[in-house]
Every structure is written in C-alpha cells, then in structure tokens.
Amino acid sequence: MQSPTTQPHHGAIHAPKHETFDIESKTNIDPKGFTRTVDTYVETSFGLYMGRGADHPRFGYIEAWLLREPDIRITKFHFRSETKASEALTDRQEFYIDIAHNMRDSERPIWTTTDYYADIVLYRNDSAAHDRYSMEVLDLDELEDAYTQGFITAAELAHALSVTATVVDGLTTYGDIDSWLEQFNIALTWKNADDISLTPAP
C-alpha cells in the first residue's frame, strides 16, 4: 500500500512492496516490516477485510479490502481533521485502489500482497455532477520503470496493466465502485465512521 498522495514519482525505483495479514494473530506486517495490531479481520469468499489504527501524521485509521478477482486492494483512509483542512482533496477522497496481487496461504489463514506500483484514486464529486466519482490514475511511470530496471517480469507488467485497464473501464462504465463490483458478486462493507477512533498522531 502506498501512502495516499497525488505527488508524481521522482527518484529511484524500488522492488515491489510486500505486506502480510495474519488473521489468527490479528496482525499486519506493513511494507516497512513493522507489525501492526489489527482490530478487525473479516474473510469472505471474495477477499479479506482489515480495519486497524494508523499512527500516521495524515490519517489515523485504515480500512482495506484485498480482493481475489479483480486482483486489487481497496483502501479507505480516515484522515485527520488537520489533513482535511490543509489538503483539500483528502476531504473528497473516497477510495484508494492499489494494483496488487493478493494471495491466501493454502494451509494457514494468512494473506500476502505484492504491490505493483500503479494506483487509482476515487474522489467524490458534488451532488450536481453527472458522475458520482472523479478518477486519477497514478504511478504508471513507476510500473514501467520497474519493468525496464528488472524489478518485475514481463508477465507481472502485463498483469498490472490489464488489471489497471479493467478497473478504469469498470468504473467508467458503471459509474461507482459498488455497481462495478456487483458484476463480480462482490458487496463491500465498511465501518460507520462515527464508530472509528483515530490513533493519535506520532
């Protein structure tokens, strides 16, 4: 999972980031190797839900769904009031979609994700707008650079580009994420924002 930013990529490319979700221990090992305590895991036929606190300066709680098909991670960041006040787009940000390969261990209740660089951000439009969301695709340059620098294979590049196109086409066709995911028999659930307590900022 990338930090939810709209800044363009600059600098050296890194290997794909990996993350682990251990249902039994209720822990999440993030891409930096830190073990995070998870409040809630819900495993379904189509994926895994996680809800946990986050000691990040911009947001204090994360909800995420890892889906089997389409192969993506959908995250809802609960931003701090200071972030919303200083970064106008965060108040409209609804979902952050990572193009990622999600796998469940065949023997243990453990999921892993491999992040394939590209991201799609959905922003709520005002009620007068024709479309419910506006969409921004990020970091395709990182994805291409990762391939040219040997961090991912041609098959991984093709998979990531195909999934990105599937998401963009689906959201464009159906207008919102719930209507699109209904085509896969997926119905996502989220916590009531009023029931979430943000982890204090560091």
Percent of the chain with pLDDT over 70: 92
Sorted by where each starts, the structural domains of the chain and their CATH numbers stand as 17-195 (2.40.380.10)
- Give the Cα-Cα-Cα angle 72, 77, 78 (nearest 5 degrees): 155
CA separation, residue 194 to residues 97, 147, 161 (Å): 23, 43, 37
**Given a cut of 50, is residue 7 above it in pLDDT?**
no
**Given a cut of 70, is residue 5 above it in pLDDT?**
no
**Given a cut of 50, is residue 21 above it in pLDDT?**
yes
Cα 66 to Cα 38: distance, rounded to the nearest angstrom: 15
For residue 30, count other CB atoms closer than 10 A to its CB. 16
The string of pLDDT tens digits covering residues 79-137 is: 999 999 999 899 999 999 999 999 999 999 999 999 999 999 999 987 666 677 899 99
Rg (C-alpha) for the chain, rounded Å, is: 17
Would you state the pLDDT for residue 6?
41
Instruction: Provide the pLDDT confidence category of residue 8 given band limits of 50, 70 and 90.
Output: very low
* Mean confidence (pLDDT) of the chain: 92
